[in-house]
A and B are shown apart, each in its own frame.
Chain A
Amino acid sequence: MADLLLHIIIPIAIFLFIAGFTLFAVYAERKIAGFVQDRLGPMETGKYGLIQTIADILKLIQKEFITPSAADKALFLTAPVIIFVAVFIGYSVVPWAPDFLPTNTNTGLFFILAIVSIDAIGILMAGWGSNNKYSLLGAIRAIAQMVSYEIPVGLSLISAIMITQTLNLNEIADLQGIHSPEIIYFMGFWDVTDIGGLFAWHIFQAPHLLVVYIIFFIATLAECNRAPFDIPEAESELIGGFHTEYGGIKFAFLFLAEYAMMFLVSILGVIIFLGGWNTPLPNIGSLRLADWTTGLGWGLFWTVSKSLLIVGIQMWVRWTLPRFRADQLMTLCWKILIPVAFVCMAISGLWRILVIV
């Protein structure tokens, strides 16, 4: 009985976290956009506009359900559910702190990759079901983009997996801190198993993993359909892309899915490359900073704060770079990211054989 209750509480807790995060992230996004452009952002609703997003969501919830008469009703109605559920299920294997995760599976990373790609189907359903040329164009662009960028994401993750030798996200994170069951070498020559901290993170365990992380970051940005890779939405060309026809709570779910996806890829990058729940503070002699800042609470804090930092960088990038053209997008993916990712994969293989032994 208690077990069943746990199975209900955990998804609700994660959902509440996602909803809270979305409210916060939309506010942060608008504030960052404002500050970058020398504006103030929302200021009127509440002190410094703090409850602006709550007012927004209340408005969305109250709205009428409108389905275009020419829309494919079944696809139109199920698309937001599929898009959100695809991202939501991805959270089921994400570790938040040492051994603090909904499901500890040995194929966690593979599971995330598999489940999150269902997102693309949901977007195509939304675009096709709307029976609107802009929506369909947006959906087609989204599919082309997401399918293409799945490859660099996959390759960059394979490069990391070749070093870790496990697909279990909990173990991957564990391999980057002071409690690691294996010996950790900083850049392959300096034993940092006892020192831990920043130096034990995967991006510093091998020099090419930093490049791999950059590839992963760029490709996941495209996976979330965020600027500068937002041609599926492209407000200025396609109105809203695949979600043009959506309103009210259905639109809220599409939005929720977008921000949930942002956080999911950020936390995934953090777990695989940036040390997961491990502290960035190293042990310096008798100053046991890493030992003091490791534990359940600290782990939760480090994971969330690192992920929020990455989300912040995603927003910063969004408000800096202009949108890619479709051909530039494909050039970046197929001619640059994929070859570099392949090279990194080869280096990973050699590194595993020659350096780690």
Chain B
Amino acid sequence: MVLKTTIQGFLTAVKGLLLTVRHLFAARKSRETIDIRDEKYFEKQEGVTTVQYPKEKMPIPEVGRYQLHVEIDDCIVCDLCAKACPVDCIAIESIKSPEAIGKTSDGSVKRLYAAQFDIDMAKCMYCGLCTVVCPTECITMTNQYDKSTSKLTDLIYGFTEMTTEEVAQRKEEWTRFQAEKEAAKKK
């Protein structure tokens, strides 16, 4: 009994030692990144797997599912993304415009100014629902994943291009327009 387990123990130890020494010598070269559709994908078992991150990066698809990006020129400020968001990480404030501001690249008419379009990436759970509901496909997920910052507030991304004066001016314009409309109604 003891003899049998001992012999077995030594044999398996030798087997393990041979396995590790094979890996030790195979570590002379790095494992290259190959496509998962490649037939030999699972046969590549040897070589160093470490990716020295800031110096080298793993190839990732262009349409990754990492950080959110808003093409604000294409945004019609419909607020659908904010409503779809399960964790409420998108904050949108809109200002109505008296007339159409312009057109997005897919031809939708813009009638609202985005006074505020903030996405809190610290809250985001990367479900991608906002990108699904967007009618103009202006909100997308990008392949950027390195977003480490020293301050938590740096993770709140502001996408609006309007300055505070501009916001005040547009608000002013809208209230004047409303007032004029009210005045016209009363006449």
Q: Which residues of A contact B (CB under 8 A)?
A: 32, 34-40, 43, 316-317, 319-321, 331, 335-336
Contact = CB atoms under 8 A, between A and B. Distances in A.
Contacts of B23: 35-38
B50 A316 contact: no
B179 to A, nearest CB: 65
B144 interface: no
Given A38-B31, A38-B49, A316 B16 contact: no
B17 A316 contact: yes
Contacts of A321: 13, 16-17
B150 interface: no
16 contacts: A32-B24, A34-B50, A35-B24, A35-B27, A36-B24, A37-B23, A38-B27, A38-B31, A38-B46, A39-B49, A40-B50, A316-B24, A319-B20, A320-B16, A320-B17, A320-B20
Contacts, number: 47
B182 to A, nearest CB: 68
A335 B50 CA distance: 43
Contacts of B52: 40, 43
B118 to A, nearest CB: 36
A335 B24 CA distance: 33
B27 A34 contact: yes
B6 interface: yes
Contacts of B46: 38
B122 interface: no
Nearest to A32: B24
Given A38-B31, A336-B2, A336-B6, A316 B21 contact: yes
Interface in B2-52: 2, 6, 13, 16-17, 19-21, 23-24, 26-27, 31, 46-50, 52
* Central interface residue in B19, B20, B47, B48, by most chain A CB within 10 Å: B20
A43 B20 CA distance: 21
Nearest to B45: A38
A32 B16 CA distance: 15
A322 to B, nearest CB: 9
A229 to B, nearest CB: 13
Contacts of B6: 336
Given A316-B21, A321-B16, A336-B2, 12 more contacts: A34-B27, A35-B24, A35-B27, A35-B48, A36-B20, A38-B23, A38-B27, A38-B46, A39-B50, A317-B17, A319-B20, A335-B2
Nearest to A317: B17
In order of increasing CB-CB distance, the 9 nearest A-B pairs are A35-B27, A320-B20, A40-B50, A36-B20, A320-B16, A35-B24, A38-B49, A320-B17, A39-B50
Contacts of B47: 38
